[in-house]
């Protein structure tokens, strides 16, 4: 397939067609485009045009388009639709997507929208889903699933499944429950294809099935599903009753969001901004970290001010402060990134003590190599061995301490239940800058006997 490419020309063409109300051409054009791509197009239109298109197209397409839109665009469009129209879109969606949209609606219209949904079972499922925390397995799951009772024979089962499958976009597994809806096991699709229709459910189902609790965190669900290569996982409540299922496509989104978040944190950007957000949104996400950096820099300036006398005598020491600060920052970021990533992937094992010792040995090794290079450079440049030695030895100490701080901080935060990712980026560079400069001056002072 040639992947869809959003072009300036296409947007202009659509602007014109909307302007001229060429409805049938619009419907024809949009009919050929995947809903995820239609969403990309609509994200680029103004609210009036976007609403026009949504109202024009069939709701079995527009409902999917709505789920893919940027949140602010969707909000704008929905504010122009009647409760009945919104209900019509929700009718077409799986319960998880529908519940997500209802969750974004202004509180005062929710009840009206829900009451306009014709399929009462669907409406009930959506309302059920609304009570779960967005940041939990319950908030991710859908009610659509195929389940059979262990007491049934295969004939009843197949009949029931056909009916249920009508409402389920993708059938992953057939879950087996008892009369109280407790999850007992599963029937695989493969079994379905290869087993004779005369068998009894209780005899053929696989009694082992992975499941997650409704209160489980999305990141944990993601870990379980990707570790065990699951494409869907049933969700059970506190007493083991089957209440929904989560599919891998939702988990792919969770994984991407997690990765984006950690990456942005490491870069000193509060989560959830994109390149196309407004200058104001971007400032709000970035400025706090820069102010933190400013405080750190001011702190470093005050510390250096305390050594002013020394500098009048040994100006050369001054020249290397940016180098020292940069190395402290770099090592700190490297160390913390390794730990944060290891924690995210669950492969940090063993004691904190051992890990700190390893990291400091590593820092020592790197520090010695770097110090040798720096010693050579400074000695040749300035012709003073003792000064060069003082700077280089300080560098080793600075790097070891930076490695320690970079390793310890995220591990400590993690133990305390705080997201270790905040320990990467500006936070670690700023504190390492200050510690680095302080250590540098103290050691240099000692070695030079000032």
Site for a copy of itself in 323-382 (CB under 8 A): 323-327, 329-331, 333-334, 336-339, 341-342, 345, 347-349, 355, 358, 361-362, 365-366, 369-370, 373-374, 377, 381
Residue number, 88 or 425, with CB nearest to a copy of itself: 425
List 61, 74, 122, 223, residue binding a copy of itself (CB under 8 A): 223
Report the candidate in 423, 410, 428, 422 with the shortest Cα–Cα distance to residue 325.
428
Question: By CB neighbour count within 10 A (0-12 exposed, 13-18 middle, 19+ buried), where does 203 fall?
Answer: exposed
Task: Find the binding residues for a copy of itself in span 164-193 (CB under 8 A).
Answer: 165-166, 168-171, 189-190, 193
List 220, 237, 384, 445, residue binding a copy of itself (CB under 8 A): 220
List 52, 132, 175, 289, residue binding a copy of itself (CB under 8 A): 289
Q: Residue 232: in which H helix or E strand, if any?
A: strand 232-236
Q: Residue 284: in which H helix or E strand, if any?
A: helix 279-305
CA distance 99 to 110: 11
Residue number, 190 or 416, with CB nearest to a copy of itself: 190
Counting every residue written for the chain, the total comes to: 450
CA distance 211 to 146: 15
Site of tokens 């050691």:
443
Task: Find the binding residues for a copy of itself in span 16-35 (CB under 8 A).
Answer: 34
In whole angstroms, the minimum distance from the beta carbon of 65 to a copy of itself comes to 13
Task: Find the binding residues for a copy of itself in span 290-309 (CB under 8 A).
Answer: 290-291, 293-294, 296-298, 300-302, 304-305, 308
Task: Find the binding residues for a copy of itself in span 114-173 (CB under 8 A).
Answer: 161-162, 165-166, 168-171
List 218, 244, 420, 426, residue binding a copy of itself (CB under 8 A): 426
Letters for 196-215 (x = contact with a copy of itself by CB under 8 A, - = none) are --------------xxx---
The token pair that represents 412 in the structure block: 């400590």
The token pair that represents 392 in the structure block: 């280089």
> Does the protein bind a copy of itself through residue 442 (CB under 8 A)?
no
CA distance 411 to 428: 13
- Strand ordering across the sheet containing 212-213: 212-213, 232-236, 242-247
Residue number, 95 or 114, with CB nearest to a copy of itself: 95
List 83, 103, 181, 318, residue binding a copy of itself (CB under 8 A): 318
Contact 432, 402 (CB under 8 A): yes
Of the candidate spans 46-54, 75-83, 126-134, 275-283, the one that interacts with a copy of itself by CB under 8 A turns out to be 275-283
Residue number, 294 or 446, with CB nearest to a copy of itself: 294
List 282, 352, 447, 448, residue binding a copy of itself (CB under 8 A): 282
How big is the site for a copy of itself, counted in residues (CB under 8 A)?
Answer: 115
The string over 405-419, giving b where at least 16 C-beta atoms fall within 10 Å of a residue's C-beta and e elsewhere, is bbbbbbbebbeeeeb
User: Dihedral through CA 237, CA 243, CA 249, CA 250, nearest 10?
Assistant: -50
Task: Find the binding residues for a copy of itself in span 245-264 (CB under 8 A).
Answer: 248-249, 251-253, 255-256, 259-260, 262-264
**177 vs 55, 141, 210, 381, CA distance in Å?**
41, 18, 14, 78
List 81, 114, 433, 435, residue binding a copy of itself (CB under 8 A): 433
In whole angstroms, the minimum distance from the beta carbon of 298 to a copy of itself comes to 6
- Residues with Cβ < 8 Å from 309, sequence gap 6 or more? none
CA distance 165 to 102: 24
> Does the protein bind a copy of itself through residue 95 (CB under 8 A)?
no
Question: In the 8-state DSSP scheme, what is residue 418?
Answer: S
In whole angstroms, the minimum distance from the beta carbon of 108 to a copy of itself comes to 32
> Does the protein bind a copy of itself through residue 240 (CB under 8 A)?
no
In whole angstroms, the minimum distance from the beta carbon of 30 to a copy of itself comes to 15
Report the candidate in 401, 406, 384 with the shortest Cα–Cα distance to residue 319.
384
List 138, 185, 218, 425, residue binding a copy of itself (CB under 8 A): 425
Which stretches of 276-332 are assigned E, i.e. beta strand?
none
List 9, 194, 238, 353, residue binding a copy of itself (CB under 8 A): 194
Task: Find the binding residues for a copy of itself in span 39-68 (CB under 8 A).
Answer: 44
Helix axes 426-448, 321-344, angle to 10 degrees: 140
In whole angstroms, the minimum distance from the beta carbon of 378 to a copy of itself comes to 8
List 46, 203, 283, 313, residue binding a copy of itself (CB under 8 A): 283
In whole angstroms, the minimum distance from the beta carbon of 107 to a copy of itself comes to 30
Backbone angles phi, psi at 153, to 5 degrees: -95, 170
> Does the protein bind a copy of itself through residue 102 (CB under 8 A)?
no
**DSSP per residue over 335-365, as a string?**
HHHHHHHHHHTT---S-HHHHHHHHHHHHHH
Strand partners, 29: none
């Amino acid at each position: 397939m040639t992947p869809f490419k959003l072009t300036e020309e296409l947007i202009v063409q659509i602007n014109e067609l909307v302007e001229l109300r060429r409805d049938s051409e619009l419907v024809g054009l949009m009919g050929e485009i995947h809903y995820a791509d239609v969403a990309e197009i609509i994200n680029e239109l103004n609210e009036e045009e976007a609403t026009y298109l949504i109202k024009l197209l069939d709701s079995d397409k527009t409902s999917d388009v709505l789920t893919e839109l940027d949140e602010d665009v969707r909000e704008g469009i929905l504010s122009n639709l009647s409760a009945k129209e919104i209900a019509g879109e929700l009718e077409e969606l799986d319960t998880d997507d529908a519940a997500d949209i209802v969750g974004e609606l202004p509180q005062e219209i929710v009840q009206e929208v829900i009451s306009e949904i014709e399929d009462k079972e669907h409406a009930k499922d959506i309302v059920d889903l609304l009570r779960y925390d967005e940041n939990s397995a319950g908030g991710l799951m859908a009610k659509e699933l195929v389940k059979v009772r262990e007491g049934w024979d295969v004939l009843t089962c197949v009949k029931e499944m056909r009916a249920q499958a009508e409402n389920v976009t993708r059938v992953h597994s057939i879950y087996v429950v008892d009369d109280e809806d407790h999850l007992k096991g599963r029937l695989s699709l493969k079994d379905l294809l290869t087993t004779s229709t005369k068998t009894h459910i209780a005899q053929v189902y696989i009694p082992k099935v992975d499941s997650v609790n409704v209160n489980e965190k999305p990141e944990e669900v993601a870990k379980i599903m990707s570790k065990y290569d699951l494409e869907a996982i049933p969700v059970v409540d506190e007493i083991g009753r089957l209440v929904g299922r989560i599919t891998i496509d939702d988990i792919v989104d969770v994984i991407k969001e997690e990765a984006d978040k950690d990456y942005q944190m490491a870069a000193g950007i509060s989560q959830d901004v994109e390149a196309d957000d407004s200058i104001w949104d971007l400032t709000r996400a970035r400025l706090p970290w820069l102010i933190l950096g400013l405080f750190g820099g001011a702190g470093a300036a005050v510390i250096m001010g305390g050594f002013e006398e020394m500098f009048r005598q040994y100006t050369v020491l001054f020249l290397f402060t940016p180098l020292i600060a940069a190395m402290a920052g770099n090592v700190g970021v490297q160390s913390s990134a390794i730990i944060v990533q290891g924690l995210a992937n669950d492969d940090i094992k063993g004691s904190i003590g051992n890990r700190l010792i390893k990291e400091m040995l590593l820092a020592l090794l790197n520090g010695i190599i770097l110090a040798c290079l720096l010693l050579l450079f400074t000695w040749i440049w300035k012709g003073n061995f003792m000064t060069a030695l003082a700077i280089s030895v300080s560098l080793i100490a600075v790097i070891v301490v930076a490695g320690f701080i970079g390793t310890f901080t995220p591990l400590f935060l993690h133990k305390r239940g705080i997201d270790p990712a905040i320990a990467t980026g500006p936070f670690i560079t700023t504190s390492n800058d200050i510690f680095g400069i302080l250590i540098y001056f103290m050691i240099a002072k000692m070695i030079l006997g000032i």
